[in-house]
């Protein structure tokens, strides 16, 4: 009897998930360009391993997942391509606004997008929970705009603030979230490698875990070449 109840429960969850994804499909229009921010402006090549990361700028687990992922990307070099998709979790304060800030900055200066992401990760306490509890939405947007301008250092505050009134950045942030939903993303961090989801969604992967996942995807000769390059650096 318990087994039957479990099967019915899982079937109900699956049905609800399918209905949700179907509703997202029916509401989203195809964007004019691919979603996401390419690390070091390096688009994927046919002979590179593609990692897709869905991250929330104010999510502690997303924050903790970034250093080991970045280290792995640096280890493999150009043989790995990384694209980060903002995925603002609805239960994290200011997730949508900070994700939108990434789109604003990416429109102004693509080389600054990851600097801003790392700045949010480094000072999440400025935007999480009680930090903005008594502020209006307009005040929070202004706070995020000022933080963004200061974190990047070479962007005009007025240009950043204007980006938050541009409907294109609002739509782009919505598209990022819907894209994650269409892919079956339900938490952050959430990773795909060559289009296949990794287990352990919502939890950071450490550097050794990344090596265990990625090393088998390269030939022994490629692995040796990478180790030799690391030795001389």
CATH of the domain spanning 35-216: 3.40.30.10
pLDDT attached to residue 12: 45
User: pLDDT digit string (tens) for 98-134?
Assistant: 999 999 999 999 999 999 999 999 999 999 878 898 9
Q: At what angle do helices 167-182 and 95-108 cross, to 10 degrees?
A: 120
**pTM to 2 decimals?**
0.82
Per domain, the residue ranges of the chain are 35-216
- The 37-38 sheet, strands edge to edge: 37-38, 80-86, 49-55, 190-193, 196-197
Is 166 exposed, middle or buried (CB count within 10 Å of its CB: 0-12, 13-18, 19+)? middle
Highest-scoring range by mean pLDDT, 7-21, 41-55, 116-130, 148-162: 116-130
């Amino acid at each position: 009897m318990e087994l039957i109840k479990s099967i019915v429960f899982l079937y109900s969850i699956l049905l609800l998930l399918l209905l949700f994804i179907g509703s997202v499909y029916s509401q989203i229009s195809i964007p004019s360009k691919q979603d996401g921010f390419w690390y070091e402006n390096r688009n994927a090549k046919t002979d590179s391993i593609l990692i897709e990361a869905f991250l929330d700028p104010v999510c502690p687990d997303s924050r903790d997942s970034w250093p080991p992922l970045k280290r792995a990307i640096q280890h493999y070099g150009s043989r790995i391509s990384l694209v980060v998709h903002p995925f603002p979790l609805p239960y994290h304060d200011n997730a949508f606004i900070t994700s939108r800030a990434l789109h604003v900055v990416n429109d102004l200066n693509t080389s600054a997008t990851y600097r801003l992401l790392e700045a949010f990760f480094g000072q999440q306490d400025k935007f999480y929970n009680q930090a903005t509890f008594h502020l209006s939405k307009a005040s929070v947007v202004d706070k995020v705009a000022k933080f963004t301008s200061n974190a990047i250092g070479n962007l005009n505050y007025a240009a950043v603030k204007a980006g938050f009134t541009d409907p294109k950045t609002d739509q782009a942030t919505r598209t990022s979230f819907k894209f994650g939903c269409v892919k079956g993303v339900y938490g952050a961090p959430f990773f795909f490698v060559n289009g296949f989801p990794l287990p352990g969604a919502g939890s950071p992967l450490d550097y050794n875990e990344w090596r265990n996942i990625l090393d088998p995807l390269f030939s022994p000769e490629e692995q040796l070449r990478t180790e030799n390059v690391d030795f001389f650096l």
